[in-house]
Amino acid sequence: MENIISKISDTIKTTTSIEDDLFKKFNVKRGLRNEDHTGVIVGLTKVGDVVGYERDEEGKLKPIPGKLIYRGVSLEDIVKGAQRENRLGFEETVYLILSGNLPEKDTLKEFSDLLSRTMDLNPKITMHILDLEGQDIMNNLARCVLELYTFDDKPDDTSAENLIKQSLNLVATFPTIIAYAYNSLRHNCGKSLHIRHPQEGLSLAENFLYMMKGRHYTELDVKTLDLALMVHADHGGGNNSTFTVRVTSSTGTDTYSAIASGIGSLKGRLHGGANLKVVDMMKNIKRNIKDWTDVKEIDTYLQKMLNKQAYDKSGLIYGIGHAIYTVSDPRTMLLKEMAKDLALEKGRDKEFEFYNLLEERAIKNFMEFKGTSVNKQVCANVDFYSGFVYDMIGLPQEIFTPLFAMARIVGWCAHRIEELNFKQKRIIRPAYKNAGEVKEYIPLNNR
């Protein structure tokens, strides 16, 4: 077996290689990206909008401060509105994204109570989670979602009422599944098993912290996690995991299969797993930069990274740059504000200042290093601070990417419902140009 695997592995080095110039020759948009790095428009949505450019009087794209819009409402307005009223905002965000409208006060209370009551899992599902042997929570999450199909009385029903019922159930149970999966993982590593069931009356964010840590969290911890869920709830139809859910949903498959496909996409290190790469990079930078206030020392190390001489020698500074945002990422701006307050509470303000300075120097060094080869301004994306925030709350790295899924399930469900609600049903099927050569078949005895 090893011999045949080795033989095929050697052949794919040439048989799967496609020259870069062929993409330009056949006008193929690699990665569904235009040459200016903007995304190729492949669909329409009313769920959300991600804005990093606007057109000037001549019709040319001009970078602007980033905007993230949920159902026509600015994310910043939603967040600031909740903060002014000293309340949490994730449940309101869930209602808005799924329904398309902001809830009345009484409706929001009823909706929040419903989500809180729905968090508890069927005992059979709980036992299934605790029996899982896998070492990756994202894989276990996908397996549990597929398992939910068997506990649904109408799993293939795509009526509006049933889709909303399934969506709310997934939004409410994701925190519970992730918390149980993490505790099961710890138990499999020889540690004590602590299963705390969700408490009625607590928000999704607070219930998650309770299931993970007992009562060992602060009010600011809850507010910060609630904010993190709000900023990650949706990001338009073009992000990889949401597009995956829409592609899968367009086939007419069931909700659980479609959501499991989104989880698989989000797990990737170029998507939801990116914040872990930032965390690892920051550990390396902290070890190699002795004075966190020395601009010259910081610049020297960043230049080594850009020249592929330091860290993972990829030439990348993780957490810097985004496919759409240019001047600023609105999610980063909101999370950074809360991170500053949290750092003061946790006695990690010097570390926050280091992140802040590193963000500034990374952008400057990147732009100078790239020069004219990069045709757009760059900014820090949300991954730059999210891992730092989760760590300050006291959450383990194993759940950083699952936390992303815990928020993004909202957008996934909304986009799935929209995809299924189109009057003209059409499977998403883009075309691929065959760049291979024509070969003559040779009979087996003549080879």
Choice among 221, 235, 383, 415 that is catalytic: 383
Q: Catalytic annotation on 322?
A: yes
Give the chain as a 3 state SS string. CHHHHHHHHHHHHHHCCCCHHHHHHCCCCHHHECCCCCECCCCCCCCEEEEEEEECCCCCEEEEEEEEEECCEEHHHHHHHHHHCCCCCHHHHHHHHHHCCCCCHHHHHHHHHHHHHHCCCCHHHHHHHHHCCCCCHHHHHHHHHHHHHHHCCCCCCCCHHHHHHHHHHHHHHHHHHHHHHHHHHHHHCCCCCCCCCCCCCCCHHHHHHHHHHCCCCCHHHHHHHHHHHHHHCCCCCCCHHHHHHHHHHCCCCCHHHHHHHHHHHHCCCCCCCHHHHHHHHHHHHHHHCCCCCCHHHHHHHHHHHHCCCCCCCCCCCCCECCCCCCCECHHHHHHHHHHHHHHHHHCCHHHHHHHHHHHHHHHHHHHHHHHHHCCCCCCECCHHHHHHHHHHHCCCHHHHHHHHHHHHHHHHHHHHHHHHCCCCCCCCCCCCCCCCCCCCCCCHHHC
Choice among 128, 232, 322, 415 that is catalytic: 322
Q: Catalytic annotation on 235?
A: no
Positions marked catalytic: 322, 383
